[in-house]
């Protein structure tokens, strides 16, 4: 979970943001499809198109999880166009 999620102290907010950014970078750089999908389920990644695209590239062509990732991408891309 997030670092001290209820704290609004400036140092904590900055640390929380930094940890979140580092985690996203690590998952996008070296993550498996499984870790990308787990990350996509976190609140901070709810609208992250890049994470879903990366997961889709790594999922096997016949994976049953592809349909959910494609649906998420279509929803997010439609929201971006609106």
Q: Is the pLDDT of residue 1 over 80?
A: no
CA-CA distance, 61 to 67, in Å (whole number)? 10
Residue-range domain boundaries for the chain: 10-81
Q: Report pLDDT for 2.
A: 84
CA-CA distance, 46 to 62, in Å (whole number)? 24
* Residue pLDDT, tens place only, 28-58: 999 999 999 999 999 999 999 999 999 999 9
Q: Report pLDDT for 10.
A: 92
Q: Check if the beta carbon of residue 35 is closer than 8 Å to that of residue 14.
A: no
Name the DSSP class of 53. H
Q: Check if the beta carbon of residue 30 is closer than 8 Å to that of residue 45.
A: no
* Residue pLDDT, tens place only, 2-19: 889 999 999 999 999 999
């Amino acid at each position: 979970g997030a670092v001290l999620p209820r704290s609004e102290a400036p140092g904590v907010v900055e640390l929380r943001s930094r940890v979140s950014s580092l985690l996203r970078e690590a998952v996008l750089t070296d993550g498996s499809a499984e870790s990308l999908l787990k990350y996509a389920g976190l609140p901070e990644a709810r609208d992250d198109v890049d994470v879903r695209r990366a997961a889709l590239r790594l999922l096997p062509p016949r994976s049953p999880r592809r349909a959910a990732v494609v649906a998420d991408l279509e929803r997010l891309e439609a929201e971006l166009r609106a």
